[in-house]
Amino acid sequence: MKIVVTGPYESGKSAMIHHITNGACINIERRGTTIAMDHGLANIDGLNVFLFGTPGLLRFRTMRKILSSGADGIVFVVDSVDAESDARAKLFFREVAFFLPGVPCVVAANKQDLEESRHVDQLRNSMRFLAGLPVIPVSAKTGKNVDNMLRTLLYLSMMQWSSVFSKFAQYSGAPDGLTKLMGDLNISREQAVGYLRRFELRKLLTVQVGDEEFSVNDSVRPLLENPVLVMRK
Ligand SMILES: Nc1nc2c(ncn2[C@@H]2O[C@H](COP(=O)(O)OP(=O)(O)O)[C@@H](O)[C@H]2O)c(=O)[nH]1
Ligand SMILES: [Mg+2]
C-alpha cells in the first residue's frame, strides 16, 4: 500500500518514518529540514507499506502533489505540544483534502512523550477540521502507539478496497481471473487491468503475461480475505 505521511513543518513526519522503518529509510533534507521527501518500506503482516513523507514547508506544494498521487492512505501528523503549528496544520489539511479527496486518513497526535503535550480533546478543540477523523496519540520518538496508528490506517484503506480484494483472493491463479473479476465487479476490462496494475505495483499480486491471469502473494492472502486481521496485533 502507498501511504503518505504529511502535516506541518517540525511535527515529526521524518521521525515517524524513521521509526516505522527501523531507520531503513532515506530523507532528502537540507540543514535538518526535509526539502524533497522521506521514503521507506515497511512490512506489516506480509503487506508491503511504501511510505512517503512530504516536505512540511508551504512552498514545496508541488512536491507534495507529486508524492500524493495514487496514495491509498494518509497519516496526518500534528504537533501535540506546539499550539502555534495548529494554524499551519489547518492549511495543510485543506491541501490534503484537495489532493486526495476520499482517501482514508488518520491523525497522529505526535510528541505525546512530552509532559506538556495536549490531550486529544484539546487538539480537537483547537483544530476543528479534525472532526470525524480518528486522532491517535503517539510518540515517534519512543514509538508508543505508532504501530496501532499505522494498523488502523491500513485497515481503513483495505476496507475501501474490500470488494476488489476479496475477488483478488477468490480468483487468484484462475486461468480466466481477469474475466471473472470483470463479471463479478461489473467493470470494464480497462478498469480491471487498472486495478491489477495498481496492486501489482504495491506487490500484492503478480499479473501473468497477457493479463488474463493473476496470483496474489501468499503472505497477504489472509489480509485480502479479511482486512480486520491487520488490527489483531
Ligand atoms: N519529544 C519528541 N520529539 C519529537 C517527536 N517526533 C519528532 N520529534 C522532534 O521534533 C523535531 C522535528 O521532527 P522531524 O521528524 O524532523 O519533523 P518533520 O519536519 O515533520 O519531518 C525533531 O527535533 C525531532 O527530534 C516525538 O514523538 N517526541
Ligand atoms: Mg521532515
227 CB within 6 A, ligand 1: no
Q: Are residues 92 and 135 located together in one domain of the fold?
A: yes
Q: Give residue 28's pLDDT.
A: 85
Residue 125 is part of a domain; what is its CATH number?
3.40.50.300
Give residue-wise pLDDT tens across range 77-98.
999 999 999 999 999 999 999 9
- Assess whether 180 and 204 both reside in one domain: yes
CATH of the domain at 218: 1.10.10
CA of 79 to the centre of ligand 1 (A): 9
175-186 pLDDT tens trace: 999 999 999 999
Ligand in closest contact with the CA of 114:
1
Percent of the chain at pLDDT above 90?
A: 88
Range of the domain at 59: 2-159
Query: Which backbone phi and psi does 162 adopt, to 5 degrees?
Result: -60, -35
For residues 121 and 226, membership in a common domain is answered with no
Do 24 and 93 sit in the same domain of this protein?
A: yes
Shared-domain flag, residues 30 and 127? yes
- The pTM for the full model equals 0.95
Residue range 66-85: average pLDDT?
A: 97
